[in-house]
Amino acid sequence: MSAGTLPQSPADGRGPASASTSSLAKRPSSRAGSDPGPGSGTRADDGRIGLRANLRHIGALARRNMLQIKQDPESMFDAVFMPIVFVLLFVYVFGGAIAGKGNNDAYVNYVVPGLMAMMGMNIAMGVGTGINDDFKKGVMDRFRTMPIARSSVLIAKIVVEIGRMLIATAILLGMGFLLGLQIHTSVLGLFGAIGLSMVFGASLMWIFILLGLTMKTAQAVQGMAMIVLMPLQFGSSIFAPPTTMPGWLQAFTDYNPLSALADSSRALINGGPLAHSVWMTLGWSVAITAVMAPLAVAKFRKKT
């Protein structure tokens, strides 16, 4: 088989998604003893993929993933409808009980910044099921024949999921504004809260990618993800102040990364102490990425 030919698989050989990845399989020709320039080849002298080529591969793979969403619009339902359901549910079902009857407006300003943390975690879960599904369909067998960095496949997934997360966050904030959300700081503070949520959500995706590579089925990935999600979400300051919780649960909440992100978002939108919660969120993001990203890439290399 020539280096520029892709094996066609029934599971992923259709439409524009196939065309978008075909360019990745083209290897630059090289002669024995020739010395290509620093940006002329796909691989560096030591056999590794160069930075420019790696970025080009990530872009092509991200385009493939976006084309898949275009062909399957139902895959956006969670990003579009989940924020609407969550805001309405928590504001009108739990708002009166937590903030007091008639204080729904005050609860909107409390819960919406917290839901930004929850939204990122739920969207991140889709990366793991998507990776697992790609292996079942044989898509990864196709990528294995291409001269691309294994990490580019995973990074492209994360790039597209961050886009979905931005859409979900925009809808969440739109619903919040309709229900009375107010920005007490500045627009820059709002953008800071969104950016912090994206950084933390991207770090969580590495956890779910590793789950998707480890578990046998997408259903197993979802089941394991829910076991992780539920305690972190409800044992945090997302929905209620920790002062209303028993002492042992308050101790867990203090070290819960979702609490740090929720508190950071509230401080950036509503005002208040900011430095500690922001540094805690950034510290968790760096730590999770530093541990989980190499494990996920190593597992992906081994599996492909």
Task: Give the Cβ contact number of residue 107 at 10 Å.
Answer: 23
User: Which residue range(s) make up the domain with 190?
Assistant: 45-303
31 in a domain, yes or no?
no
pLDDT in tens, the chain (304 residues): 444 443 444 444 444 444 444 444 444 444 344 443 333 344 444 456 677 777 888 888 888 888 888 888 887 888 888 899 989 888 888 777 776 666 677 789 999 998 988 888 888 888 888 888 878 877 776 776 777 777 788 888 899 989 999 999 999 999 999 998 999 998 999 999 999 999 999 999 999 989 888 888 888 888 888 888 888 888 888 888 888 888 888 889 988 999 999 999 999 999 888 888 999 999 999 999 999 999 988 888 887 6
220 in a domain, yes or no?
yes
21 in a domain, yes or no?
no
Phi, psi of 49 (to 5 degrees): -70, 130
105 in a domain, yes or no?
yes
Tell me which long-range contacts 70-74 makes (C-beta under 8 A, separation of at least 24): 71/15, 71/17
Question: Which residue do the tokens 């999770």 mark?
Answer: 288
Instruction: For residues 67 and 260, give the distance between their C-alpha atoms in angstroms, rounded to a whole number.
Output: 35
Angle CA 259–275–114, to nearest 5: 30
Three-class secondary structure of residue 101 per DSSP:
coil
Contact 15, 67 (CB under 8 A): yes
Count of structural domains within the chain: 1
Alpha-carbon 46 to chain mean position: 32
23 in a domain, yes or no?
no
71 in a domain, yes or no?
yes
Contact 41, 30 (CB under 8 A): yes
pTM assigned to the model: 0.76
28 in a domain, yes or no?
no
